[in-house]
Amino acid sequence: MSSQPTIHNFSHDAMRTRFWLRIADEDAGYAKSASEGLFHFLDDLDFQIEAGHDSGPITSINGMPEGALVTASDHVRALWDFSQNLREETGKAFDVSAGKLFKYWEARGDTVPNPDDAEWSRLWADYQEGSFVLDGAQFTCVKAGAAIDFGAITRGYALDRMAELLENNWGIHRALLMAGGSAALALDPPGDANGWRLGVGDRSEIKLCRFALASKSNAKRPAHLLDLRQGTPVTLPAPVRSICTSAMERTGAGRVTGVPCRRSSRWAGRLAFDLLASAKRQSLISERSPTPRRQPLASPGGSSASAALPPAMSRARWMPQLFSSSSAIRSRA
């Protein structure tokens, strides 16, 4: 019987959430040095791509007058290119230039639009007219009114870049990276395990290797999702979960599939049935009780859905209600 693998755990607050890093089968001092390097990178990335920094690049872009130019970093350009492709693919169900609308609804915290709200009418008109263009490394404000907020995909992008640094710069390949309770990116698993064990919801789990998992629910924040075709908030009847090879794709898919839109549903895949049918044919999903040595996080004796996904499954899949009603993702020992 093989001994239990050594797993080193680290955490850091950034991008308005807590990031976790679990590194397996490495020297403790080396793992600690790697975590410090990644978290230093994360702090710098936070300043570069988050809209909440008064002196940050995104604030500078949003404050440009019409016709002005500003040079964008590689990170900003990558996020913009991805978001514009997703905007086109989904018929504007996803749009990072609606930053003022997101901020308005977050502050309001209501799910019922008020047609007599003058502030909302002004913001909605500004958003529809506003326009940015990226030409090479130069951002141009074509028409004032819109505001960029990459917040929906920044954490996924951060996980992707951190994983690249971990493998390419530090030579560490057995690791799990998480952002808050809604995003996880798994590299190779520890020891001879076939995946990192992630608790999803209250009583379920999934084993993940070389894939990213997202879980999106707005149960606690009713106005956290917007239908940008109409400017109205969306309330999900159940958590939406997506699995992709990229953490940024995963967070984008989680947002898009929350909005009822034929084009966004097509982009996200053929819903949960395709994923479940494929996995079950390969005996990769099973209903079972958690093993005795690894007790469930909530109710003992509950069933567990365990999935080790096939490498060929590279496109996003929508997974509503595959697990329990809770949306939280947690790493298990």
* pLDDT of residue 307 exceeding 50: no
Do 235 and 314 fall into the same domain? yes
Residues 182 and 161 grouped into a single domain: yes
Mean pLDDT of 42-54: 95
**Does 208 lie in the same domain as 99?**
no
Q: In this model, does residue 188 exceed pLDDT 90?
A: yes
Higher pLDDT, 135 or 222: 135
Both 216 and 313 in one domain: the answer is yes
Residue 322 predicted with pLDDT over 50: no
Pair (185, 300) in one structural domain = yes
> Domain for residue 121, yes or no?
yes
For residues 234-251, give the mean pLDDT: 68
Q: Flag whether pLDDT at 313 surpasses 50.
A: no
Is 333's pLDDT higher than 60? no
Confidence band for 266, pLDDT divided at 50, 70 and 90: very low
Q: What is the mean pLDDT of residues 254-272?
A: 43
Pair (25, 100) in one structural domain:
no
- The whole domain housing 78 covers 57-143
- Please list the residues that pair with 286 across neighbouring strands: 306
Residues 173 and 191 in one domain: yes
Residue 178's pLDDT is: 95
In this structure, the answer to whether residues 210 and 321 fall within a common structural domain is yes
Where residue 300 sits, what CATH number does that domain have?
A: 3.10.520
Last residue of some domain: 118, 143, 168? 143
- Asked if the structure places residue 325 within a domain, the reply is yes
Q: Is the model's pLDDT at 179 over the cut of 90?
A: yes
Final residue belonging to a domain, choices 86, 113, 143: 143
Residue 86: what pLDDT?
A: 85
Q: Is residue 103 part of a domain?
A: yes
For residue 2, being part of any structural domain is answered with no
Specify whether 66 is located in the same domain as 91. yes
pLDDT-above-90 percentage for the chain = 45
Given a cut of 60, is residue 72 above it in pLDDT?
Answer: yes
In a domain, 290, yes or no: yes
The two tokens of residue 223 are 């106005």
Q: What is the mean pLDDT of residues 290-313?
A: 30
Q: Is residue 257 part of a domain?
A: yes
For residue 281, give the amino acid letter.
R
pLDDT of residue 304: 28
Angle at 328 between CA 105 and CA 95, to 5 degrees: 35
Q: Do 122 and 260 share a domain, yes or no? A: no
Confidence of residue 78 (pLDDT cuts 50, 70, 90): very high
Instruction: Pick the last residue of a domain from 143, 164, 186.
Output: 143
Q: Same domain for 236 and 285? A: yes
For the chain, give the mean pLDDT: 74
